[in-house]
């Protein structure tokens, strides 16, 4: 029996044992995970079957046809797209067993404690300190993180902190799993241009993290973080969407339904952006085919670059198409959303929120450097701080 046929059989057995119409949503998701149908390319016992990543589409199609519940991937996107592959790649057996199942089911939401006020684009310059308590073996964390999406709803966080200030900045970092319910964790909202506060600044004061919640070796956190960052860029810029899906769908719908708004110039721009959106969609499909054979590479940075530029150009075109109507904005009340939903909001929201697409997940300027150096093979920029101890760097 082929892998495809076997997957269909397993999926039908799951549906027969746990009919979606009569089974509690959480119970169904737990059963799906235990059957190895959550992410089939993960190992057996961890939600998968050790099969090629591309075969996940077989399971997803069968479940969609049966109207089975999903795990609300937008709400738990950081856990699915960033924390899970990092835990899988660097976690101990105990960490994998503890964290992956509740993460995938959505019982525990994750956030990312990476960027700092003085270390955003230059993430390796981070200054949050982790000091070992020799009496207990715990790590004591002090510092500040910023631009943390979903920290106000998160149970766990992936965190990088400096454990050795006496070595160059990329070498003295260690990667941890942080309990967001610790009394030393303070989350404060950051109000955005949209009026909302979907992300936050996070203050860490004597937060104690057991060594059992360290991912990877001490001082090897930059290597671990690269897995997170590569997966982050793919999850932001390379998600699967249908033809004429995403941001282009809203402006195309307005164009078809509001003929009185059309002009020749806007028509030409819409056609150009529609073609570019379709090229981006097909490029994303190719990227996912490459992922079936290995880990994300720098190509994900290129996808994320295109995603940010397209979103900003498309949302700008939509505002111009709507004219004065496009200048309206529905509500400036500060909300604390758990998810970002571009298409459920109005054109004004899309235009304002899209400005963040070229910042989150790595600024476009940094990603251009990555593509230039690692994809095109161009000479890297001079780095005078490469061999200087972090403690001796100017800040």
> Could you read off the pLDDT of 14-64 as tens digits, one per residue?
999 999 999 999 999 999 999 999 999 999 999 999 998 889 989 999 999
Structure tokens, 2: 């082929």
Q: 127-178 pLDDT, tens per residue?
A: 999 999 999 999 999 999 999 999 999 999 999 999 999 999 999 999 999 9
Task: Name residue, tokens 């990877």.
Answer: 216
DSSP string, 291-331: HTTS---THHHHHHHHHHHHHHHHHHHHHHHHGGGGG--S-
For residue 296, the model assigns a pLDDT of 59
Instruction: Round the CA-based radius of gyration of the chain to a whole number and report it.
Output: 22
What DSSP state is assigned to residue 168? B
**How would residue 293 be classed by pLDDT, with cut points 50, 70 and 90?**
low
The mean per-residue pLDDT over the stretch 243-250 comes to 91
Question: What letter does residue 104 receive in the DSSP assignment?
Answer: H
Handedness of CA 155, 158, 163, 169 (dihedral sign): negative
Residue 94: C-alpha distances to residues 87, 100, 182, 261 (Å) = 10, 10, 21, 59
Q: Where is pLDDT greater, at 262 or 296?
A: 262
Domain with CATH 2.40.110.10 in the chain: 80-219
124 near 170, Cβ under 8 Å? yes
Using a 10 angstrom Cβ sphere, with 0-12 exposed, 13-18 middle and 19 or more buried, the burial of residue 64 is: exposed
Query: What does the pLDDT average to over 333-356?
Result: 88
User: Which pLDDT does position 19 carry in this prediction?
Assistant: 97
Domain 226-375 of CATH type 3.40.50.360: no
Active-site amino acid positions: 232
**Angle of the 3-17 helix axis to the 56-65 helix axis, nearest 10:** 40
Contact (Cβ atoms closer than 8 angstroms) between residue 349 and residue 356: no
- pTM check: above 0.85: yes
* Banded model confidence at residue 363, pLDDT cuts 50, 70, 90: confident
The least confident of 10-19, 21-30, 197-206, 325-334 is 325-334
Task: Evaluate if residue 294 carries a pLDDT over 60.
Answer: no
Whole-number mean pLDDT of the chain? 91
Domain with CATH 1.20.140.10 in the chain: 226-375
CATH topology of domain 80-219: Butyryl-CoA Dehydrogenase, subunit A; domain 2 (2.40.110)
């Amino acid at each position: 029996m082929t892998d495809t046929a076997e997957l269909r059989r397993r999926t039908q057995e799951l549906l027969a044992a746990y009919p979606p119409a009569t089974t509690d949503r959480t119970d169904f998701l737990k059963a799906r995970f235990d059957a190895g149908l959550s992410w089939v390319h993960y190992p057996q016992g961890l939600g998968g079957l050790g099969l090629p990543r591309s075969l996940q589409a077989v399971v997803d199609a069968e479940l969609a046809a049966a109207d089975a519940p999903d795990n609300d991937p937008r709400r738990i996107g950081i856990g699915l797209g960033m924390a899970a592959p990092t835990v899988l790649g660097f976690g101990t057996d105990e960490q994998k067993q503890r964290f992956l199942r509740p993460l995938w089911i959505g019982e525990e939401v994750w956030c990312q404690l990476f960027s700092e006020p003085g270390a955003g684009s230059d993430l390796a310059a981070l200054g949050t300190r982790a000091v070992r308590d020799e009496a207990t073996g715990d790590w004591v964390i002090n510092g500040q993180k910023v631009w943390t999406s979903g920290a106000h709803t998160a149970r766990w966080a992936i965190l990088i902190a400096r454990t050795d200030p006496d070595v160059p900045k990329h070498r003295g970092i260690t990667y941890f799993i942080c309990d967001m319910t610790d009394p030393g964790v303070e989350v404060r909202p950051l109000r955005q241009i949209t009026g909302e506060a979907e992300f936050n600044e996070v203050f860490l004061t004597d937060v104690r993290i057991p060594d059992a919640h360290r991912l990877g070796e001490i001082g090897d956190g930059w290597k671990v973080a690269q897995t997170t960052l590569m997966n982050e860029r793919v999850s932001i810029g390379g998600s699967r969407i249908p033809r004429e899906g995403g941001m282009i769908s809203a402006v195309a719908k307005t164009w078809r339904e509001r003929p009185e708004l059309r002009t020749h110039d806007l028509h030409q721009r819409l056609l150009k952006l529609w073609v570019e959106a379709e090229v981006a969609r097909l490029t994303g499909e190719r990227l996912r085919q490459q992922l079936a054979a290995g880990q994300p590479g720098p190509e994900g940075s290129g996808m994320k670059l295109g995603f940010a530029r397209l979103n900003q150009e498309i949302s700008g075109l939509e505002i111009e198409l709507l004219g004065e109507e496009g200048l309206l904005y529905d509500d400036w009340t500060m909300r604390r959303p758990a998810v970002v939903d571009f298409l459920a909001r109005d054109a004004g929201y899309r235009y304002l929120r899209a400005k963040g697409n070229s910042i989150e997940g790595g600024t476009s300027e940094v990603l251009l450097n990555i593509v230039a150096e690692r994809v095109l093979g161009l000479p890297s920029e001079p780095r005078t701080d490469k061999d200087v101890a972090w403690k001796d760097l100017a800040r």
